A = this chain, B = another copy of it.
Amino acid sequence: MIRVGINGYGTIGKRVADAVRAQPDMTVRGVAKRSPDYVAVGAAEADYPVYAADEDRADGFREIGIDLAGTADDLVAESDVIVDATPSGVGAENRPLYERHDTPAIFQGGEDATVAEVSFNARANFAEAEDADYARVVSCNTTGLSRFLAPLHETYGIDKARVTLVRRGGDPDQTGRGPINDTVPDPVSIPSHHGPDVQTVFPELDIDTIGLKVPTTMMHVHAVNVTLEDDPDGVDDVRDLFRAEDRLLTIPEYAGIDGAGTLKDFAMDAGRPRGDIWENCIWGESITLQGRDLYCMQAIHQEADVVPENVDAIRALTGLLDGPESRSLTNETLGIDL
Interface positions of A (Cβ within 8 A of B): 14, 35-39, 41-42, 45-46, 60, 63-64, 160, 162, 164, 166, 168-185, 188-191, 208, 210, 212, 214-221, 223, 225, 253-262, 264-266, 268-271, 273-275, 283, 285-286, 288, 290, 293, 295-297, 299
Contact = CB atoms under 8 A, between A and B. Distances in A.
A268 B262 contact: no
A255 B273 CA distance: 22
Contacts of A215: 180-181, 214-216
Contacts of A210: 164, 223, 286, 295, 297
* A contact patch SS: mixed
Nearest to A297: B185
- A261, A274, A288: which has the most chain B beta carbons within 10 Å? A261
Nearest to A167: B183
B261 A181 contact: yes
Contacts of A259: 175, 179, 182-185
A269 B176 contact: no
Nearest to A173: B261
- A35, A39, A45: which has the most chain B beta carbons within 10 Å? A39
Nearest to A183: B221
Given A170-B180, A258-B184, A260-B183, A212 B223 contact: yes
A86 B283 CA distance: 28
Contact of A181 (B180, B189, B253): B180
Contacts of A181: 172, 180-181, 215-218, 260-261
Given A218-B182, A285-B189, A261 B174 contact: yes
Contact of A255 (B41, B45, B216): B41
- A182, A225, A259: which has the most chain B beta carbons within 10 Å? A182
